[in-house]
Amino acid sequence: MSAQGAVIFGCEGLAVTPEEQAFFAEAQPWGFILFARNVESPAQLVRLTSDLRAAVGRDVPVFIDQEGGRVQRMRAPHWREWLPPLEEVARAGTSADRALFLRYRLIAAELRAVGIDGNCSPCADVATPHTHPVLRNRCLSSDAGEVARLARVVAEAHLAGGVLPVLKHIPGHGRASLDSHKELPRVSALKRELQAVDFAPFKALSDLPLGMSAHIVFEDIAPDGPATTSPTMVRLIREEIGFDGLLMTDDLSMEALSGSVSERARASLAAGCDMILHCNGKLPEMEAIAAEAGALGGAALARAKAAMAARRAPEPADLEALLAEHEALLRVPAP
């Protein structure tokens, strides 16, 4: 078997194609990520996650974005619909910590039931009046201290449910007024402002096992390129913020980045990211990235092993009781 590749890949549809199966067997990605295009029903997802693992011959992590609210790949009628995180925090008030723990413990159970054991959550970005609408209500608060506290709760709920949380978007996406899926945001705030607010939640959560970079330029620190491909910013993430978990890129398919996917992958790894995340499932792009990324090694491999060691069986829980408590805290009828 080949060494594990420094990549997390998507796939094209509801089932693994023969071409994808052969490619994944050769490329040996470290993990997979699913999107709405891959989701139809619980039975279909169980088959898909099983087939993805079978393709590489390992119990690899399978990730998804199931924040709740607009960013929720698994939806009704098969799965619960959730409020946007910022709205839930506001509605829960002084019970926000407990409500969020219950919410993400329930989400973790939904994910584990279909073979998914990684969730790209929590967002520890601090909301501002200028935060782009694509992100704002996905944040937990406009107060950095509250973001740190609530994001810790979200992470602990995932881990209790047997799901690996992915802290995002390091070192902070909240000041971005552009959508990095389509354009490259530039933040002009001074470093001291960023340290006091944007970077602070990530520093408080620097012990978490996995994190995702931000496709944002911080002009006062590294004006030449986004954090994902900036050695200066990755060094700041490691040394000043203190994050020593597995650092994956945000999706390399996003239009905030320039150059070919091969160039993006090369620049991200050269900057110090551990893992390439590529989400669109397009086989020619995945082939190019696999060739560029190569195998996990050194510190990146050690961090990957540490992340996998954080994955554990779910703690016993009465899910119906947790759901009833969550509904009572939000004073909303059952979905």
Report, as residue numbers or ranges, the catalytic residues. Answer: 181, 250
Nearest to 97 by CA among 165, 155, 30: 155
Which spans in the chain are helix H? 18-27, 42-56, 85-92, 96-112, 133-136, 144-160, 191-196, 200-204, 231-239, 261-271, 283-293, 298-309, 319-330
Cα separations (Å) of 49 from 52, 64, 115, 119, 313?
Answer: 5, 11, 6, 14, 17
Tell me whether the omega of the peptide bond preceding residue 226 falls within 30 degrees of 0, making it cis. no
Q: Indicate the residue type of 329.
A: L
Cα separations (Å) of 203 from 124, 135, 241?
Answer: 10, 20, 5
Nearest to 271 by CA among 235, 241, 301: 235
| 194 within 8 A of 126, measured Cβ to Cβ | no
Cα separations (Å) of 2 from 5, 20, 32, 36, 248?
Answer: 8, 16, 17, 30, 21
| 234 within 8 A of 275, measured Cβ to Cβ | no
Cα three-residue angle 68-71-74, rounded to 5 degrees: 70
The residue written with tokens 């001291």 in the block is: 192
Task: Tell me 9's DSSP state.
Answer: E
Q: What does the block give as tokens for 81?
A: 């619909």
Q: What does the block give as tokens for 171?
A: 């070192």
